Amino acid sequence: MSSKEVMIKDREPDFLYLVMSAIFIASLVSCNLIFQKFFVWNPFGLYRFEISVGILPYPVTFLVTDLLCELYGRRAANRVVLSGFIASIFISCVVFLALNVPATEWSPIDNALFAKVFGLNGPAVFASMTAYLLAQLIDVRLFHFWKSVTRGKHLWLRNNFSTMTSQLVDTASVLFLLCLTEVIEWSHFLPLLESGYLFKVLVALFDTPLLYLAVFLARKRKTPIVT
């Protein structure tokens, strides 16, 4: 193999990095598309959650950014965060175009029904993306802060401390902006904040073993560091 071929091979993106980036972006985009449905969950009768279905894939994004931070570093994680933002803006443009082209008479989904489902996409995505950028950047920074403080030890600590703090910022920010833009009523702010944040905290605690497993498997296959 020539030196040029070796150089090209070394510059090829790592497959795991691409897969995690794809999962991150898919989770983020799906959140913004399905958020308008709310559901009730009452596990074992202990607590009544009233939350948006958009919250279901969202904790995955924080798990992925923590994995990216741990395996590839801050710059690589921030690249994926920015890529997710660009993808969401692109999807918003596609939805805007779809809203403004007229449906045919035989279309299974007419203009009114389509607008009812996707019509709030604009203000909702503005709120979501503002909160998303703020929270994800805080998550990445805090993850590396705790990694530095603990000298690379206690993965569980930086995973949970960074995620729980950034999730609080995200939940409060997106609900504040959704209320401010009149997507939801202010009377729902505190109940949704409580339910949403508690749900995210529980998910963050349960995903810690998954994080350890993913890091172990990735290092076992000698995942290269992307800078």
Residues in the chain: 227
* Average of per-residue pLDDT across 128-150: 86
Q: Indicate if the pLDDT at residue 181 is higher than 90.
A: no
Return d(Cα 65, Cα 67) in angstroms, integer. 5
Query: For the segment 214-226, what is each residue's pLDDT rounded down to a tens digit?
Result: 888 887 776 555 4
Determine the pLDDT at residue 22: 95
Return d(Cα 65, Cα 62) in angstroms, integer. 5
Sequence-separated (6 or more) residues with CB below 8 Å from residue 201: 164, 167
Query: For the segment 48-67, what is each residue's pLDDT rounded down to a tens digit?
Result: 888 888 888 888 988 999 99
Domain 9-220 matching CATH 1.10.1760: the answer reads yes
One-letter amino acid at 214 equals A
Sequence-separated (6 or more) residues with CB below 8 Å from residue 191: 50
The radius of gyration computed from the CA coordinates of the chain, to the nearest angstrom, equals: 20
Global confidence as pTM: 0.81
Beta bridge partners of 130: none
Structural domain spans, the chain: 9-220
* Average of per-residue pLDDT across 148-155: 87
